[in-house]
Amino acid sequence: MDIISFLPLISAIFVFLIGIAILLANYRSSINLTFFLFSLAVFLWFLGTFFLFQNCGDKAAAIFWDKFIYFGVIFIPATLFHFSVIFTKNHKQKYVILNYLISFIFLGFLFTPYFVNDLFIYEYGCHTVANFGHNLFLIYFGIVLLMSHLSIYKSYKKSKDLNLKKEARLIFVAFLALTIGSLAFLPAYKITIFPSPYLAGIISVIVLAYGIGKYQLFNVKVIATELLIFIIWLASLVKILLAKNSTERIFEGSLFIFVIIFGILIIRSVLNEVKRKEEMEKLSRKLAAANARLKELDKLKSDFVSIASHQLRSPLTVIKGYGSMILEGSFGEISKDVKNAVDKIYQSSERLISFVNDLLDASRIERGKMEYNFEKADIFEIVSSVVEEFQLAAKKKGLILELEKEIIQIPPLKLDANKIRQIILNFIDNAIKYTPRGNINVNVLKIGERVEIKVKDTGLGIDKKDQEKIFDQFMRINGKDTAGSIGAGLGLYVARQIARAHGGEVFVESEGQGRGSTFILKLPIENKK
Ligand code: ADP
């Protein structure tokens, strides 16, 4: 036997193994099932050809094997069409069924002499001679092949998914190779041809196998495992057949059973692993979608906060302005009671304005829209002006607010004075808010290449576990002790972001609840920004 007669056999085994492997990889998937049917048809074609070429000398046997070939070939158009319909997600179910029906009609023909009869023997082998039924089938085959190619090509053109495009291209190439393979018809019309079409069979299988590996047309890991195990099964089966005596046969037989069980277990475990991986992938896709949605919602929230705060600020400023004018007597004398009431309105509107400003700052930071205006400024001057501003409030609460200064001169720093002021303001405001009695000491120190501003109070203190949390948005921990104080828990969050934008940092030191706290702002002397 020479290589030419073996080519169809090798093609047949290849196609069959791939078909079975793909079916087992996921027998519930319709694309796998259809591919299996398609490969089965091609398998019959190749296998029959092998036997046909062995029997060219025996006319009856040769005709039998050629009809065996057509038993498969007749179903190639229908399965090919089915495969392309599923791949392109085209809902042409009616046509799929119609094609299978037509295949059965041709199958009926095959059992009559009107499909093929007689035998044509040529240089490389033999073939039955085409009859009326065969001519019809050839026309039908051509039309379906063209339609399947067209629909795969169309889906390739239309698809925006790059991977799907590459898959479509590979399937297209594999189909094309099979089309060339169909030139094996020619001897039916007494045209001699070197049996190269069988090469096309192998090519199409290799292309598909490559596609499987590269783009996971079907699951490659499962298929590779299955192929390997099939080969082991086949080898151990051959060993049984080749056994010289019954002892050897029993030994090889038990080994075969062991190999079968072991193989099934391996395939199952790989299938399970793949299933789990697919579930994980599905989950991660869902998570990614949820994450995108959350980001969208977060942006909506920031936009909403920004718009709402802007809208709130103007009427609040009007309330504060008129309050201040009434208190200053711009609208004439007012009684003490009215003055008290208006003062409360004024104070509340002031707190609300600072709250709204914090909201606006936080939303600006989140949207990356916080703008900084860096200029050289004297940090000590900024701190002392804020301390001055709060003296009255501290005195009202019976607290001593003091500013200490290191003797060493601090050089002007490059910073956004208003923003840094805002941090100090927040530190001292908090110190007053959260200190029932005692003192508040403010320090401006130069330590190496940085400046540290410390605000130390003898107030409520902060537990170690809360010391990082208070720098998060909307984080308030001394809620019950601060009844009456308006605050959203945004001040320290904004302070930290501003400090970081200056290449600095804010943090807190406290021995715990009831033991006071020290808030520290560190700023580099050389600000690179
Ligand atoms: P707010 O003061 O508006 O609540 P902040 O972000 O300024 O928001 O502060 C967050 C939380 O940190 C406060 O609610 C409070 O629990 C705690 N905190 C801040 N400063 C002090 C301080 N000096 N002493 C004790 N707790 C403080």
Mean pLDDT of 475-485: 58
How far apart are alpha carbons 256 and 250 in whole angstroms?
10
Closest of 499, 503, 498 to residue 525, by C-alpha: 503
Mean pLDDT of the chain: 85
Q: Do 506 and 471 meet the contact criterion of CB atoms below 8 Å apart? A: yes
Ligand 1: nearest atom to the Cα of 489: 8
pLDDT digits (tens, 9 = 90+) for 406-420: 667 888 899 999 999
Q: What's the half-sphere exposure (Cβ side, CA atoms, 13 Å) at 494?
A: 28
Ligand 1 pocket test: which of 441, 474, 478, 510 has the largest number of ligand atoms within 8 Å of its C-beta? 478
3-state secondary structure 404-445: EECCCCCCCEEECHHHHHHHHHHHHHHHHHCCCCEEEEEEEE
Q: Does domain 375-524 have CATH number 3.30.360.10?
A: no
How far apart are alpha carbons 304 and 496 in whole angstroms?
23
Q: Does domain 3-218 have CATH number 3.40.50.10300?
A: no
Residue matched to tokens 């003898």: 458
Kindly tell me if the per-residue pLDDT of 185 is higher than 80: yes
User: Kind and range of the H or E element at 20?
Assistant: helix 3-25
- Give 195 or 297, the one with higher predicted confidence: 297
Kindly tell me if the per-residue pLDDT of 480 is higher than 60: no
- Give 286 or 483, the one with higher predicted confidence: 286
Kindly tell me if the per-residue pLDDT of 86 is higher than 70: yes
> Residue with the nearest Cα to atom 7 of ligand 1?
491
Ligand 1: nearest atom to the Cα of 492: 6
Distance of CA 489 to the CA centre of its chain: 35
> Residue with the nearest Cα to atom 3 of ligand 1?
487
CA of 507 to the centre of ligand 1 (A): 12
> Residue with the nearest Cα to atom 12 of ligand 1?
470
- What is the per-residue pLDDT for 219? 66
- What is the per-residue pLDDT for 343? 93
Angle, helices 417-433 vs 379-396, to 10°: value is 30
- Give 478 or 343, the one with higher predicted confidence: 343
Kindly tell me if the per-residue pLDDT of 481 is higher than 60: no
- What is the per-residue pLDDT for 291? 94
- Give 209 or 148, the one with higher predicted confidence: 148
**DSSP secondary structure string, 347-403?**
HHHHHHHHHHHHHHHHHHHHTT------EEE-HHHHHHHHHHHHHHHHHHTTEEEEE
- What is the per-residue pLDDT for 283? 92
CA of 487 to the centre of ligand 1 (A): 8
Closest of 308, 403, 401 to residue 356, by C-alpha: 308
Q: What is the pTM of this model?
A: 0.52
pLDDT digits (tens, 9 = 90+) for 205-246: 677 667 655 655 566 677 778 778 888 888 888 888 888 888
* Confidence band for 187, pLDDT divided at 50, 70 and 90: confident
Q: SS3 of 457, please?
A: strand
Ligand 1: nearest atom to the Cα of 431: 23
Q: What are phi and psi of 493, to 5 degrees?
A: -60, -50
How far apart are alpha carbons 338 and 323 in whole angstroms?
11
Distance of CA 495 to the CA centre of its chain: 35
Q: Do 52 and 125 meet the contact criterion of CB atoms below 8 Å apart? A: yes
* Confidence band for 483, pLDDT divided at 50, 70 and 90: very low
Angle, helices 76-87 vs 30-54, to 10°: value is 150
**DSSP secondary structure string, 170-190?**
HHHHHHHHHHHHGGGGGGGGT
Domain assignments of the chain as residue spans, ordered by start: 3-218, 294-367, 375-524
- What is the per-residue pLDDT for 106? 92
Q: Do 278 and 223 meet the contact criterion of CB atoms below 8 Å apart? A: no
Distance of CA 327 to the CA centre of its chain: 61
| Four-CA torsion 254, 260, 262, 266, nearest 10 degrees | 170
pLDDT digits (tens, 9 = 90+) for 61-81: 988 998 999 999 999 889 988
- What is the per-residue pLDDT for 4? 63
Q: Which amino acid belongs to residue 352?
A: L
CA of 305 to the centre of ligand 1 (A): 21
- What is the per-residue pLDDT for 313? 87
pLDDT digits (tens, 9 = 90+) for 20-65: 877 776 777 787 788 888 889 888 988 888 888 888 888 889 889 9
* Both structure tokens of 51: 């036997």
Of 152-166, 213-227, 258-272, 467-481, give the lowest mean pLDDT range. Answer: 213-227
Which is it for strands 413-415 and 438-447: parallel, antiparallel or unpaired? Answer: unpaired
Angle, helices 3-25 vs 30-54, to 10°: value is 160
Q: Find the residues whose C-beta lies inside 6 A of ligand 1.
A: 426, 430-431, 434, 457, 459-460, 462, 470, 475-478, 487-493, 517
CATH number for the domain formed by residue range(s) 294-367: 1.10.287.130
Q: Do 408 and 447 meet the contact criterion of CB atoms below 8 Å apart? A: no
- What is the per-residue pLDDT for 272? 86
Ligand 1: nearest atom to the Cα of 355: 3
- What is the per-residue pLDDT for 505? 95
